[in-house]
Structure 1
Amino acid sequence: MRRVRTAVAVLALAGATLGTAASTAGAAPAEAARATAVCPTGWGSGAKGGATSGADHLEDIRAARHDCYDRIVFDVPGGGSRVGYHVQYVDRLYADPSGKYIPVAGGAILEIRIGAWSYDVERGVPTYPGKVGKALPGVNVSGYRTFRDTRFGGSFEGQTQVGLGVRARLPFRVTRLNDRVVVDVAHSWTS
């Protein structure tokens, strides 16, 4: 009888140990999955655009790094969700309307057009201090995984043009939010 009780106790202890080991082993991959970012890659690299119902003033351009992509944001206060945009890969960047070639470093160039002036037309004063052909003021992309360079293309007929140099032709998405347009460029084609 003592042997049976001992055997039952040993089996119960072994079962508890195996159950704990199994639950710990099952938790390890789940924890690892949470620690690794899941990166969407279905954005594509084709041209993207959104219509506008009126032009406002571009006041700031800023950039940020994320786990899966690099981001550039165009702030247009008062623009609401009607700020237009057109974003596409180009072989070379030319300032509109002069046609002046603007060199942009990187393996590929995204031309970004935002439906907003970079100056106040009525008062004749700049709202964004960009200079044609120069790097974007206050936007430092050194150390970014995808972004390599930024260049201001100018502002003409209610549109502001920017050249964004990226590491390679990678998928990107454009999101129009209240008072801003956001362009995300993925770090790779696969997650």
Structure 2
Amino acid sequence: MWLAMIVVIAGIGLTGPTASAATPYCGIHWGSLDKVNPTMVASPFTAVRAGRHECFDRIVVDLAGPAAGYRVGYVPAVHEDGSGFEVPLRGGAYLQVVVLAPAYYVPANRREVVDVSGYRTLRQVAWANSFEGQTTLGVGVRARLPFRVFTLDGPGSGSRVVLDVAHQW
């Protein structure tokens, strides 16, 4: 009898549920919590670009000088700096992207700063103003997904703030 119980208990250990870490999508471990870098610069914000990659969609903010800081996070709604008006965005979730650098221009189309039609994750990039030394963009994404933000130096004396949003968890 004891031998039968030991065999049954040992069998449960071999065939029962096991704890194993799920393999993350494309090795991404970014998460969806706010990302912040408090460095403020006077380098003007000069352009916004977007790109598609195998595992994520990317937005790049070009600056004329040293890398700026940022505050990026999911919000219920993005509001214009200064006025507080809500910026309408397409998508199931919204990222507020604040680059701690001024912009001395307004894009031709404030609601479609960059054409992201056909992207897997990005749905819209909208202008939310430049006010008191910081510039805000609203980014509509398909859903609340992992993202990362970082800065790059170059080309030349310029720099970039980069936002990558994963295609899935």
- Answer yes or no: same fold by TM over 0.5: yes
Deviation, 1:117, is 1.0
Picking from 127, 134, 138, the partner of 2:111 is 134
Picking from 123, 148, 151, the partner of 1:148 is 123
Measure, in 2, the Cα distance between the counterparts of 1:153 and 1:131.
Answer: 13
Question: Mean alpha-carbon deviation: is it higher for 166-175 or for 53-62?
Answer: 53-62
Residue number in structure 1 paired with 2:64: 77
Q: Is it true that 1:96 corresponds to 2:81 in the alignment?
A: yes
Q: Is it true that 1:187 corresponds to 2:159 in the alignment?
A: no
* Structure with greater proportional helix content: 1
Letter in 2 for 1:58: F
Letter in 1 for 2:125: T
Picking from 143, 149, 153, the partner of 1:174 is 149
Q: Is the 8 A contact 1:95 1:132 kept in 2?
A: no
Measure, in 1, the Cα distance between the counterparts of 2:46 and 2:112.
Answer: 16
Measure, in 2, the Cα distance between the counterparts of 1:70 and 1:175.
Answer: 14
Letter in 1 for 2:79: Y
Q: Which SS does the other structure have where 1:135 is aligned?
A: coil
Residue number in structure 2 paired with 1:33: none
Higher CA-based Rg = 1
Q: Which SS does the other structure have where 1:177 is aligned?
A: strand
Q: Which SS does the other structure have where 1:148 is aligned?
A: strand
Q: Is the 8 A contact 1:132 1:153 kept in 2?
A: no
5+ residue gaps, structure 2: 1-24, 154-158
5+ residue gaps, structure 1: 1-37, 120-125
Measure, in 2, the Cα distance between the counterparts of 1:155 and 1:131.
Answer: 15
Residue number in structure 2 paired with 1:47: 34
Query: CA RMSD for the aligned pairs?
Result: 1.5
Deviation, 1:88, is 0.3
Identity of aligned residues (%): 48
Number of residues of Structure 1 aligned to a counterpart in Structure 2: 140
Say if 1:155 and 1:131 are closer, same or farther in 2 by CA, change over 3 A.
farther
Measure, in 2, the Cα distance between the counterparts of 1:149 and 1:114.
Answer: 17
Q: Is the 8 A contact 2:40 2:100 kept in 1?
A: no
Q: What are the superposed Cα offsets for residues 153-180 of structure 1, whole Å, 9 maximum, x if unpaired?
A: 0001111000000000000000111111
Say if 1:175 and 1:88 are closer, same or farther in 2 by CA, change over 3 A.
same
Letter in 1 for 2:122: F
Q: Equivalent residues in 2 for 1:108-127 (5 A)? A: 108-119=93-104, 126=105
Q: Which SS does the other structure have where 1:59 is aligned?
A: strand
TM-score (norm 2): 0.78
Deviation, 1:71, is 0.1
- Segments of 4+ moved more than 2 angstroms: 129-134
